[in-house]
Structures are given as C-alpha cells and as structure tokens.
Amino acid sequence: MSIINKFIKNNINDPYILVCTSKSQMLFCKDILDKKDIDNDLIPTPKGFGGVCTTAIKFDKRDLQDIKNIVRYNKIKTEGIYPFSKKYKYNLKEIYNDNLSQKFIDIIKKIEAGVDLSKEDIVYLLKAKDKEYNSLIKTADIVRKECVGDRIELRAAIEFSNYCKKDCNYCGVRKSNTTSRYRMEEKAILKKVDELYKIGIKTVILQSGEDLYYTTEKILSIVRKIKEKYRMGITLSIGERDHKEYKLFSKEGVDNYLLKIETANKELFERIHPDDKYDERVKHHRLIKEAGIRVGSGGMIGLPGQTLENIAQDILFQRDFGIHMIGFGPFLPAKGTPYEREKSGELEMTLKVVAITRIVCQHVFLPATTAIASLHPEGQTLALKAGANTIMLISTPPNLRENYEIYSNKNMVDLSFAIESTRDAGRKMPKYLNYDYIKDMGYDIEDSLI
C-alpha cells in the first residue's frame, strides 16, 4: 500500500456524507465517531450539499445506522445524511464543438455526469492545446461560476518572519541563503492586522519560514488577540509543527493551515526538500485535518525533473485528501539557491493545472497565486479566468517585503493590483470589504466591481 493510501481513509468504500449545521457540531460529531472507532474522514462539502469551504464527514454505508443513532442520541444538528455521489450536474453543452477529439468529449461527458476523472484523463487534459486548451479553460470557468460565483475571495498575508531552519532547494529564504533576516513582534503584527480589519479583510494569513523563535505560546497569544479583538478568520502558514500544537491552534480558533505538499511524488519531494520526508509531510496534512483545521495545500508546477504524470498525481492528491484550499503556482528560480539556474514553470501548464484542479476538486477555494502573478503580468487575471477565485494580498510591511523573496522578482500583489486583476477578469470584488474606507484611502474602484 502506498503511503498516500495509508493516510487517505480507503476503508470507506461505499461513501456517505454527513453535513452538520456548524463547524462545532461537525467536530463534536467527529469526536464521537473517533471514540467509537468508526472510520470517517473530513472533506470539503460537495456542491449541492452545503456551503463552499465548509466541511462534511465522510463515512461508509456499513456505519449508516450507527451514525443515525449517534446523531439522534446526541442531538447533533445536521443538514442531512446523503450518499456521496456528485449529484450536482453541470451543463457543459456550450463546450461541445467541432474539432474536439473523441477522448476530450468523453472526458467532458464524465465531468457532466459527475464521474471521477482518472489519472490518464488528467494527463490527457494536461496535454491540451489550441481548441482543446480553450475548451478546458472554459469548462473550468463554468464549474468555478457554479461553485463559488463571480465574487473573488480576498485574503491578506503577513509574512512575519523570514528566518527558516530548513534548506529547501528551491526557496529563496532557505537557511543557507544569505538574505537579510527579520522577525516581527506581536505588536507589529497586530498593528498590521488592525489595518486589514479596517479595510474589511475577513481572513488573515500569518506566514513565516520554519522559525521556532515563535513558540507555541507566542503563536497562541497572537491568535488569541486577533480572535478577541477582530473575530477574523486565521490561516497559519508556519511549516510543520507538533501534533499537539495543531490541537492547541485549533482550540484557540485557527481556521486554516497552509502546508503545501509541493509535489505528491515521493522521490521528487525528497530531492527538492533535503530536510523533509514525504511521508511526514503527508502525515502532517492528516494531523492538521484531524485537529479540526482546514488544510490548504497545492504545489509547484515545472519543478526540475517533474513529469505530467507527477502533476496529475498532485491534482489527485488534493481531491483524495479532501483539501479545502489549493494553491498551484509555477516554480520560479530563486537567486542564491541550488535551483537558481533552472527554468521557470510555464504559464500555460500552470493555467491548465488550475483549470483541472477546479474541475476535479470543484467546491473549494483556488488562489490565483502570487507566483503566477510574478511569472507573467497577466498571470493572475488568466488564473481567475481558468478556475481560480481567491487573491492573496501581500500585507507585509513595505520595508520588510523585499526580504521575503521566496523566489526572485516576486510580484507584491497589493490592493490596486487585485482590483485590476478582478476587473480584467470580468469579476466582482467581495461584498464584505469596507469600500467607503478604501475609497477614502485613494483607491480607484468603480461601483460595477462592488
């Protein structure tokens, strides 16, 4: 059994899903199932069964009666229990046209019917060119519109430390790189969060290198203060931590944890990460999820030595692992790293990956990554048109930003840039932003975008 299969609960053969009315009810229920040793897994609630980026409990039909009893006995509030079939139907009629190969049409029919794509189908789509390329992007755009609508999701990242104990071959802030290092203290971080709150940002991403200067207590203190004062969503992106820490983060209200798989090929993973083991990274995905925190994953496209089969595997990993937020960006060479002379990932290939990920994973958040915005001036707009729905602002204080160069020539995606990409992609900005405040700050934003 491969390690992925060991961690993906594959003893659920005839899957059902239980959708609760709230996250706390869902976690309460999961806890009981775990205590009773009933196999279960947390997955993004599929389209048609509940809100986007909420979590459903997947289980096997053999436990259906037991679970119904547990729900009744414990008065768990549920939306319902359903067979896990993708009941939601997409209308892809406009995709069919001349000049598409039979194989391509067969794949579109599978998507319409809610049949899972195979690795072979995905490899085929990754090779799409010309008319089939355009049809692939269009299909993803239709699925995106149905799943997450036309408004983008806007999040903001504070890169609060670029110290890192690891030496990943591709990363510009790897330990051995001579870059000037900085750390932000709690007060400076909270000051930045306050600015984001005033703009109306709902979720802040706290990102850093793997820096143990920030002890569990330090992180918890920041999380607690953000939750108390602002009630914002919090995403942590601080690398692999201990499983007890994930539990504590969860208890304190951390909503999401961004820890990318980068590549789901063990050999490639271990070649690019001299300090990491693939099986451990997979285990951490599982531990974060089991702690009740949604997992953000994804990876890099165009890594040295990466094949189309590897990329297909990366996409399937996201689906089979029930990942809620999936960020795929191109690999970009970073100065001073062992890979500084390698070739960048390609724009079209990255866009195809975004599109296929939307088609395969559907009811999830897909960022138009900073990396794709750095590869090409229109990369972000094109990603939004290829299935992506989320933009991450770089909200690190300006004087520190340039030191967080995980790759060279990073695009410092700011609010103006995000507004422009949204406009160019023909989409709308989120409802929840504080537009009066934003306009007072001098941003140019027309009412049709709001």
Residues that bind ligand 5AD (CB under 6 A): 170-171, 260, 262, 300, 329, 331-332, 334, 371, 406-407
d(CA 194, CA 312): 41
Of 292 and 333, nearer to ligand 5AD (C-beta) is 333
- Name residue 14's amino acid: D
CA angle (257 as vertex; 14, 209 as ends), nearest 5: 140
Residue closest to ligand 5AD when measured from CB atoms: 407
327 Cβ contact list (under 8 Å, min separation 6): 258, 260, 296, 297, 298, 366, 367, 369
**Do the beta carbons of residue 350 and residue 395 sit within 8 Å?**
no
Of 140 and 157, nearer to ligand 5AD (C-beta) is 157
d(CA 334, CA 100): 39
Of 18 and 171, nearer to ligand 5AD (C-beta) is 171
CB of 331 to ligand 5AD, least distance (A): 5
CB of 316 to ligand 5AD, least distance (A): 18
Of 254 and 301, nearer to ligand 5AD (C-beta) is 301
**Do the beta carbons of residue 393 and residue 367 sit within 8 Å?**
no
- The residue written with tokens 């918890």 in the block is 220
The tokens describing 21, both together, are: 């009315």
Of 55 and 374, nearer to ligand 5AD (C-beta) is 374
The tokens describing 49, both together, are: 């069964």
Angle between helices 243-251 and 278-290 (to 10 degrees): 30
Of 128 and 300, nearer to ligand 5AD (C-beta) is 300
The tokens describing 137, both together, are: 């992007």
Of 241 and 260, nearer to ligand 5AD (C-beta) is 260
Q: Specify burial of residue 231 (Cβ count, 10 A radius: 0-12, 13-18, 19+).
A: exposed
CB of 170 to ligand 5AD, least distance (A): 4
CB of 183 to ligand 5AD, least distance (A): 17
416-427 exposure pattern, b = at least 16 Cβ within 10 A, e = fewer: ebbbebbbebeb
Of 338 and 397, nearer to ligand 5AD (C-beta) is 338
Of 293 and 334, nearer to ligand 5AD (C-beta) is 334
The tokens describing 303, both together, are: 């890594």
CB of 115 to ligand 5AD, least distance (A): 30
Of 49 and 331, nearer to ligand 5AD (C-beta) is 331
Of 25 and 344, nearer to ligand 5AD (C-beta) is 344
CB of 410 to ligand 5AD, least distance (A): 9
CB of 375 to ligand 5AD, least distance (A): 9
CB of 222 to ligand 5AD, least distance (A): 19
